[in-house]
Amino acid sequence: MLKPRLGAGLWMNRLVNAWSNREIGLQLVAGLILIALWEAGVRLGNVPDFILPAPSQVVVSLVKSFPVIAGHTRITLYEAMVGFVIAVVLSFVLAFVMDGVPVIKKALYPILVISQTIPIITVAPLFVIWFGYGLLPKVIVVTLVCFFPMVVSFMGGLQSVDKDMYDLLKSMGASRMQIFRLLKLPGALPSLFSGMKISAAYSIMGAVIGEWLGARAGLGEFMRRSMHSFAVDKTFAAIIVITVLSLGVFEIIKLLEGWFMPWAKYAARQEE
């Protein structure tokens, strides 16, 4: 009776893998078709380069400008990572405090929600006026962009733990820190990493916004200069780099999630 089950499971895994590969193939084909239509539309329509460059021209510009773009990329990535790390620490501490002290949660949570109704692009110029064109304004923008998704996700995870397990630990005399370490933190890690993955992708965007509004270097400043000189092909080249960076940091957080939550991979395999 065991062999048929193994055979059926193997067949299902192969079917799922084949379907996944088919989906990836379809996505690649769709992307190539869109690029081909873009290229043909620009060439046949004689669209000026300063309006919309062809994809081939964007690639050429990316290759030619890569040494310059690489220098700006290092600055943007550094700003994004510093702001992201600060946001992670602040989110962890504040979620822990609000979970342990309900009065603080009632006082601060509405303020956090209201703060998200203010577009970051409207307050970023103030940071430039107050703190200049250096690193600090960009780090503040990145921190503000990344902070809210993480603190809300982590708070939700801390408060959605198994109540029966919580009551059991309390009845056994566990302290608040022991309950946090043994029950709440492991149970909230999936929510925390969900917020971190969203924020990691936002961190690059936040750094670019800060640079666009005032900086001496960085991808945002590179794009601003390119737009002012009507070098739209360089602007698209920078957009490609920003997209790759956002996907890269997202995948890094997924890798960290696998390291910190090895049981999640085991559970996924069991479900398959």
Contact 193, 253 (CB under 8 A): yes
116-170 pLDDT per residue, tens: 788 888 888 888 888 888 888 899 999 988 888 888 888 888 888 778 887 788 7
State yes or no: pLDDT of 19 exceeds 60.
no
For residue 236, pLDDT over 50 is answered with: yes
The string of DSSP codes covering 47-83 is: --TTT---HHHHHHHHHHTHHHHHHHHHHHHHHHHHH
**pTM, two decimal places:** 0.80
How far is Cα of residue 240 from the mean position of the Cα atoms in its chain?
16
Contacts of 250 (CB under 8 A, 6+ apart): 197, 200, 201
260, 189 in Cβ contact below 8 A? yes
pLDDT of 12 over the 70 cut: no
